[in-house]
Structure 1
């Protein structure tokens, strides 16, 4: 009888313990992880990709494009001023994104969201960098790391290892650290002017070189100057790219995955202006 009473008491104790919530509050990160896990369990996995109309109807994710992160010099022209964000402003912008509750995402997440309806974290944003500049590694990646952000680095392969540009080791470090390394042609020639072997020189060879450096597939591409034409899309597909990025122009109605919109963060913008552009530029 004593043993039976003990077992009943023990069972009741365990039942109460398992159904009693902890007094310790959950962190926001823990709650987000649990929510994501619940969504993953209850959301059916699609096997057929969405058509173009469905992709175009989905809410756009804000995608920022940076080039230079440095101080301007006396005599720099308007174009340079537009493409150059000071280190101080870049730091302020990353902090503002974090304070506003944004979560950085990468192209594989965007692809799954657009093509297969896989949920994204709350307040998603993508942070991208063009042209392989060295300060994108030394300042950009380092500043993002403070807030747990990951970025997308579109590499122009002709510049690798040149003064002022990233080395192979830095590019691999970015990839190994969880950032995405993607292609931005060999030497930044406009895609709209390609003919003959240009497709191999500007699409195929850069992809192979980057894959050799990082040891991973490279399946994303950014058009130089954001300029594209319909002739480029079948060449990108044939070369093994899943998505391609333009700037703030209209997406293609047939192949929207190959015309993903971004905005250049202009050097003349204040941090509040940048935050407002994020809200107003993507629908």
Structure 2
């Protein structure tokens, strides 16, 4: 009898345990969703044509060369292409106080081509000719206002005295600035033929990409001079945009004739701010 009671009790215990396990399994399975969310399709971007790009409001783009002191007796070329350090500092502060925010070429491209938004008051700050003080003074002053710049480098000058070093170029890029090409040795694009395109466009691009480890997709014409024959070669070399000075944009290739304004060392800060408005009359 005792044996029979023991077997009955054991059987009830095992049955009750199995029921508990079954119930737990059902509750766990019930918590697993029986459907899988379908991922959203990426929005297909439509590129603007030349007419639509030209209809977009321009962004003020400033162009600096030398940032150093010069005497009152300096020649007009020096005064035009050189801004004193104190003046540059004052100009950056004036831009910041007026609510301007710096943008870089990728942002400009997306704005012009895909209608993507920009800050309410955008400005692009660019530097030509690879001068060393653009790093030691220019980048340092811009950093105070959270500005980033575009540095157009002619590769023949890299690591020469008073010019940007390889290390400086890499540091500028790593800090979020844009490194761009300005030919090998600053010869006018309008004079190129044969091997010149490779020497002045392709090799500098490759050299800069080797230094910073990123694609180089922007190019500035020496002296701001360009012709229609140059644009297909620039495109073929892998550039997305090219920059002139204050001349009219091309109606067919506006992305390769983007306008900039040289900031003269003869100007006061107020004059510089006013020149931005008159040069880019339809600016954002």
Same fold (TM over 0.5): yes
Structure 1 match to 2:175: 177
Counterpart secondary structure, 1:221:
strand
Counterpart secondary structure, 1:251:
coil
Structure 1 match to 2:240: 242
1:206 and 1:273 map into 2 onto residues whose CA distance is 35
Structure 1 match to 2:35: none
1:148 and 1:67 map into 2 onto residues whose CA distance is 21
Is the 1:245–1:261 contact (alpha carbons within 8 Å) kept by the matching residues of 2? yes
Structure 2 match to 1:190: 188
Please give the per-residue CA displacement for 1:172-216, whole angstroms capped at 9, x wherever unaligned: 000000000000000000000000000000000000000000000
Aligned in 2, Cα 1:145/1:233: closer, same or farther, shift over 3 Å? same
Is the 1:83–1:266 contact (alpha carbons within 8 Å) kept by the matching residues of 2? yes
Runs of 4+ that moved beyond 4 A: none
Structure 1 match to 2:11: none
Counterpart secondary structure, 2:127:
strand
Q: In terms of mean alpha carbon deviation, does 74-83 or 193-202 score higher? A: 74-83
Listed as ranges, the matches of 1:188-227 within 5 Å are 188-227=186-225
2:104 and 2:58 map into 1 onto residues whose CA distance is 14
Counterpart secondary structure, 1:136:
helix
Is the 1:46–1:116 contact (alpha carbons within 8 Å) kept by the matching residues of 2? no
Counterpart secondary structure, 2:242:
strand
2:126 and 2:72 map into 1 onto residues whose CA distance is 27
Q: 1:118 aligns with which of 102, 110, 116?
A: 116
RMSD of aligned alpha carbons: 1.0
Pairs aligned (count) = 240
Please give the per-residue CA displacement for 1:195-248, whole angstroms capped at 9, x wherever unaligned: 000000000000000000000000000000000000110001100000000000
Q: Which ranges of structure 1 fall in alignment gaps of 5 or more residues?
A: 1-43
Structure 2 match to 1:98: 96
Please give the per-residue CA displacement for 1:154-180, whole angstroms capped at 9, x wherever unaligned: 001000000000100000000000000
* Structure number with bigger Rg: 2
Deviation at 1:278, TM superposition (A): 1.1
Listed as ranges, the matches of 1:106-185 within 5 Å are 106-185=104-183
Q: Which ranges of structure 2 fall in alignment gaps of 5 or more residues?
A: 1-41
Give TM-score, length-normalised by structure 1: 0.83
Structure 1 match to 2:75: 77
Please give the per-residue CA displacement for 1:94-129, whole angstroms capped at 9, x wherever unaligned: 000000000000000000000000000110000000
